[in-house]
């Protein structure tokens, strides 16, 4: 950590009227244990880490948000309206055209379609317009040390965050993200940042917060590393003509990974509406409409989209938005 950053940390601690009060973490036993671990395993400076945790603030709004009972899932016909609207489409076209050269390069180097990259960024943050207003250090510290149900997970993410900020020369007190610590255009958690973020413009910094070039390259790299197949089919529509076992359909986060062949589904009465290899592995989806259901078979690339967010409806929104973007940009 540079001398300038160390001075900034001291100033921040002195400036905040709460930074040395009970709501900070420099005397928290779990935080001190993490400090010990980082000093021992990663050769961090103990004093500098204590300055960081002296400034990290417990945020009650974060605890309220993460512990709020999950509302009943919206049906598909309501859920899709959140993401498949004119505003998100028009802003996506603007983003696509502004960064066309970068997107073309990302597609060329990774095989991930430009429209899929844009759709992910659009669904996640409205193309960087809504990337989160919480300091990441506050979000991760609050959840690591004051949210027992997922303390282990968020402690690991906090550790990764401190490693990446030192690695990249970022001020750990300055970066902002979601209440859960997701960061930048594509809302990477720190572990995902360390694994998949790339310096796509070769300026020496992997900046997914303010640099759309790095953000585009990083999202593309995420998909490539999760096995995106260039030119592969994502989903095909289907028609229910028989009693397909209910347990074969996606149930929340269950059954997202393809577990039956297309031929299995055809035999059970779920027939694709477009040509598809009967030997291909697929997963079945049944989405609620105002009147009835629509049916889909998701193939390997659809499963890859669900690795970004473990939700079939999320992945379908990304796919549908990507199709609309591709149609408009090419017209």
| pLDDT tens, position by position, 206-239 | 999 999 999 999 999 999 999 999 999 999 999 9
pLDDT exceeds cutoff 60 at 71: no
Which of 107, 124, 157, 271 is an active site residue? 124
Instruction: Kindly list the structural domains of the chain, giving each domain's residue range(s) and its CATH number in brackets, ordered by start.
Output: 3-65+133-219 (1.10.8.350)
pTM: 0.91
* Model confidence pLDDT, tens digit, residues 183-210: 999 999 999 999 999 999 999 999 999 9
- Output the pLDDT for position 2: 52
Give the Cα separation of 112 and 136 in Å (integer): 29
Sign of CA dihedral 146, 149, 151, 154: negative
The three state secondary structure string of 215-244 is HHHHHHHHHHHCCCCCCCCCEEEEEECCCC
pLDDT exceeds cutoff 60 at 11: no
Q: Judge whether 90 counts as a catalytic residue.
A: no
pLDDT exceeds cutoff 70 at 16: no
DSSP string for 50-114:
HHHHHH----HHHHHHHHSPPPPPPPHHHHHHHHSSHHHHHHHHHHHHHTHHHHHHHHHHH---H
Sign of CA dihedral 20, 21, 23, 29: positive
pLDDT exceeds cutoff 70 at 4: no
């Amino acid at each position: 950590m540079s001398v300038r950053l160390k001075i900034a940390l001291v100033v921040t601690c002195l400036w905040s009227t709460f930074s040395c009060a009970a709501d900070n973490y420099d005397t928290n036993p779990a935080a001190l244990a993490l400090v010990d671990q980082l000093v021992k395993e990663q050769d961090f400076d103990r004093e500098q880490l204590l300055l960081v945790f002296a400034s990290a603030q417990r945020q009650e709004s974060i605890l309220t948000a993460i512990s709020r009972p999950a509302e009943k899932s919206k049906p598909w016909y309501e859920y899709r309206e959140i993401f498949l609207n004119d505003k998100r489409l028009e802003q996506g076209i603007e983003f696509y055209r502004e960064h066309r050269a970068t997107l073309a390069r990302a597609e060329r180097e990774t095989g991930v379609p430009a429209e899929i990259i844009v759709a992910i960024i659009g669904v996640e943050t409205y193309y960087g317009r809504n990337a989160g207003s919480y300091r990441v250090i506050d979000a991760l510290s609050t959840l690591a040390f004051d949210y027992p149900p997922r303390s282990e997970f968020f402690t690991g993410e906090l550790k990764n965050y401190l490693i990446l900020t030192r690695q990249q020369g970022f001020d750990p007190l300055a970066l902002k993200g979601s209440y859960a610590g997701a960061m930048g255009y594509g809302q990477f958690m720190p572990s995902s940042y360390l694994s998949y973020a790339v310096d796509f413009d070769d300026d020496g910094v992997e900046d997914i917060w303010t640099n759309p070039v790095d953000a585009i390259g990083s999202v593309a790299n995420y998909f490539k590393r999760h096995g995106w197949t260039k030119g592969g089919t994502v989903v095909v529509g289907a028609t229910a003509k028989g009693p397909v076992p209910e347990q074969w359909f996606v149930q929340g986060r269950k059954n997202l990974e393809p577990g039956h062949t297309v031929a299995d589904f055809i035999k059970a009465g779920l027939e694709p509406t477009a040509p598809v290899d009967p030997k291909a592995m697929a997963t079945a989806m049944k989405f609620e409409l105002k009147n009835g259901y629509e049916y889909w078979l998701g193939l390997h690339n659809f499963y890859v989209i669900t690795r970004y967010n473990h939700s079939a409806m999320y992945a379908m929104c990304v796919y549908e938005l990507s199709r609309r973007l591709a149609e408009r940009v090419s017209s």
